[in-house]
Amino acid sequence: MDKAIIQLYGSYKKGETSRRNFLKKLSLYAGGTASAMALLSLMEENDLHASVWQESTSGLITENITYPGDSGEVKAFLARPKEKKKYPAVLVIHENRGLQPHIKDVTIRMAREGFLSMAPDALSPLGGTPEGDSSSVPSLIGKLDRDQTVKNFVAAVKYLETHPLSNGKVGCTGFCWGGGMTNNVAVEYPGLDAAVPYYGSQRKPEDVPKIKAPIMAHYAENDQRINAGIDAFREALEKAKIEHQIFIYEGTGHAFNNDSNPGRYDEKAAKLAWSRTVGFFKDKLK
């Protein structure tokens, strides 16, 4: 399928393009309205097939749970190795599409690396991430109370710290919107042991000295809006003497780790960033 069509569909699914404009552009690509509707049906069918976990859960325990947050009970997906012993813990924060199958896959991968891993659903105060069409999710994310949302994620860190199968060490990683939230958690909770934001917006330089956790930040080369804050973030980290590593992946765009989005996924960069992330957590959370 043409890359431009894949990117157009991805933009529509993320709520960045209205259905009217999406269908208008799709008709131009497809050569007519009838062809566009047939193509849309095919893409939606493929999307449905992709909405199940791609990762094997063999050797793992996975479950849907709730934990007490600032807004009340927060829904979350938890994955861990089957053996009952204490593991370092990792909080996984989703993109602005909510708790989608892709983020559950990331959580499963983290568990396979030997972590007690958990992905909260930030939309829990609004009933949780809607199933199926995710085009409305970004607007729902925009309705969340930011401070309360950060507190819900901080509560998740505390939940993992005291989980019976946790060694008490907790790291946090997140993607896109979740990358920015990872930076927020690092600022707001000094008990965090490690933070790995992926192409996430940075906090103001004056907030950075509050961070106590070592930072590993991943960015795409072609991501102008997010990258505009890198230099100030790096300078503030250096000034505050906070341990940090910043990686920028050549030739990539925003969301290069998302293998459920062919228009953005970059396999080489994603695998390298993942290996660095896992190594970082294994070092800092032992």
Q: What is the pLDDT of residues 74-94, one digit of tens each?
A: 999 999 999 999 999 999 999
* 131 and 258 belong to one structural domain: yes
Return the structure tokens found at 211.
């961070």
* 109 and 8 belong to one structural domain: no
**Site of tokens 């969301």:** 255
Torsion 129-135-138-144 (CA) sign: negative
Percent helix, strand, coil in the chain, to 5, is: 45, 25, 35
pLDDT of residue 45: 53
pLDDT of residue 49: 44
The separation between the first and the last C-alpha atoms of the chain, rounded to the nearest angstrom, is: 45
* 219 and 123 belong to one structural domain: yes
Can you tell me whether residue 172 is helix, strand or coil?
Answer: strand
pLDDT band of residue 15 (cuts 50, 70, 90) is: low
Q: Looking at per-residue confidence, does 254 or 261 come out higher?
A: 254
pLDDT band of residue 13 (cuts 50, 70, 90) is: low
pLDDT of residue 30: 80
Q: Are 64 and 76 in contact (CB under 8 A)?
A: yes
pLDDT band of residue 17 (cuts 50, 70, 90) is: confident
pLDDT of residue 50: 46
Task: Compute the mean pLDDT over every residue in the chain, rounded to the nearest whole number.
Answer: 91
Q: Compute the distance between CA of residue 77 and CA of residue 165 in angstroms, rounded to an integer.
A: 16
* 32 and 121 belong to one structural domain: no
* 114 and 239 belong to one structural domain: yes
Judged on CB neighbours under 10 Å (0-12, 13-18, 19+), 128 is: middle
Return the structure tokens found at 34.
């009838």
Q: Compute the distance between CA of residue 174 and CA of residue 177 in angstroms, rounded to an integer.
A: 8
pLDDT of residue 193: 98
For residue 174, give the amino acid letter. Answer: G
Eight-state DSSP code of residue 47: H
Q: Are 154 and 189 in contact (CB under 8 A)?
A: yes
pLDDT of residue 113: 97
pLDDT tens for each residue of 27-69: 888 888 877 777 776 666 555 444 445 667 889 999 999 999 9
Can you tell me whether residue 31 is helix, strand or coil?
Answer: coil
Q: Looking at per-residue confidence, does 49 or 116 come out higher?
A: 116
pLDDT of residue 112: 96
**Mean pLDDT lowest for which of 37-51, 115-129, 178-192?**
37-51
Q: Are 135 and 129 in contact (CB under 8 A)?
A: no
* 61 and 45 belong to one structural domain: no
User: What is the CB neighbour count within 10 angstroms for residue 185?
Assistant: 26
* 231 and 154 belong to one structural domain: yes
Q: Are 195 and 171 in contact (CB under 8 A)?
A: yes
Q: Looking at per-residue confidence, does 220 or 15 come out higher?
A: 220
pLDDT band of residue 105 (cuts 50, 70, 90) is: very high
Per the structure, the complete domain to which residue 118 belongs is given by 57-284
* 122 and 40 belong to one structural domain: no
pLDDT of residue 47: 55
* 172 and 114 belong to one structural domain: yes
> What does the pLDDT average to over 16-31?
80
Q: Domain count of the chain?
A: 2
> What does the pLDDT average to over 122-145?
92
* 11 and 128 belong to one structural domain: no
What CATH number corresponds to the domain at position 191? 3.40.50.1820
* 43 and 135 belong to one structural domain: no
User: What is the CB neighbour count within 10 angstroms for residue 99?
Assistant: 25
Q: Looking at per-residue confidence, does 3 or 241 come out higher?
A: 241
